[in-house]
Amino acid sequence: MFQPQGSAPHLHWLSQRLQARSLLRAAGARPAWLPGDWQGFAGESCWLDLAADDSHHLLQRAGHCQQHGIALLEVCGQWLPQGEQFGFMLLCGGELTATSEARSWLDCATPLAGGWLHCGPPGSARYTLHVINAMRHAWQLALQQLPANGQPCSINWEALMQQQSELADKLYLLSAGYLQRQGIDAAACSASEARHNFALPVAAQSHFAANLAILIVLAMQQRDTLHSMLQQVFATLQQP
């Protein structure tokens, strides 16, 4: 049974799904260990943290939970109202044992049981969601260059690639920063090792977010080579 706390709209949508599965605890006095300004769901021995702040504050809450013998699980998602009916695609970070009560919450909140991704320790879900959002933004930038009526048009490839390059720089800094906070040296990982780790089934990866970050950092370190290739392409396109 889980007790919601907070005022964000998606907490209500999630509560409706939990109530349909008889997993929602009736409103009452909050647990003594739980501060009043947290956002998420309290279980018998776990806290599902749904706040949207930074990793620093998340880790502070994780430390508070640890002091009280409570397991914290970070939960991130794209919070849309349709999720109340169809379920949310969720990312989570933190210790998640095979018998964790949090699994029942995750299975209830997602479209299907197991329809969530465990990304690693606390902070990993936030990082992975940032990467997904960056990829979506890159795709949207590309779509903006296409005509709405489907008619042929001239595309400013150089401007588009400049936008993508600036976004890639931010993605590189985000990934390098994540690895630094995790104490992981991307330079010590070979590209083949990174590809192998990332290609494993998610359940076999101990730290999905780190594998993703290593691949991004290694790929972005080849930007000079890519830039030179693109310059050659642009020169060819500009020839009469």
201 Cβ contact list (under 8 Å, min separation 6)? none
Token pair, residue 218, equals: 């290694």
Q: What is the pLDDT of residue 149?
A: 65
With 0-12 CB in 10 A as exposed, 13-18 as middle and 19+ as buried, what is 54? exposed
Query: Which residue matches tokens 């972005």?
Result: 220
Q: What is the pLDDT of residue 225?
A: 64
Whether residue 76 contacts residue 126, with contact meaning beta carbons closer than 8 Å, is answered with yes
Q: What is the pLDDT of residue 117?
A: 94
Q: What is the pLDDT of residue 155?
A: 64
How far is it, in rounded angstroms, from Cα 223 to Cα 73?
Answer: 36
Query: Which residue matches tokens 């809450």?
Result: 61
User: Tens place of pLDDT for every residue, the chain, 240 residues?
Assistant: 999 999 899 999 999 999 999 999 977 788 999 999 999 999 999 999 999 998 899 999 999 999 999 999 999 999 999 999 999 999 999 988 877 899 999 999 999 999 999 999 999 999 999 999 998 887 777 666 666 666 656 666 666 667 777 888 899 999 999 999 999 988 787 777 777 887 888 777 889 999 999 989 988 887 666 666 656 665 665 665
Whole-structure pTM value? 0.84
Inter-CA distances, 137 with 19, 69, 130, 220, Å: 35, 40, 10, 18
Q: What is the pLDDT of residue 145?
A: 64
Q: Render the burial of 27-37: b for 16+ CB within 10 Å, e for the rest.
A: eeeeeeebeee
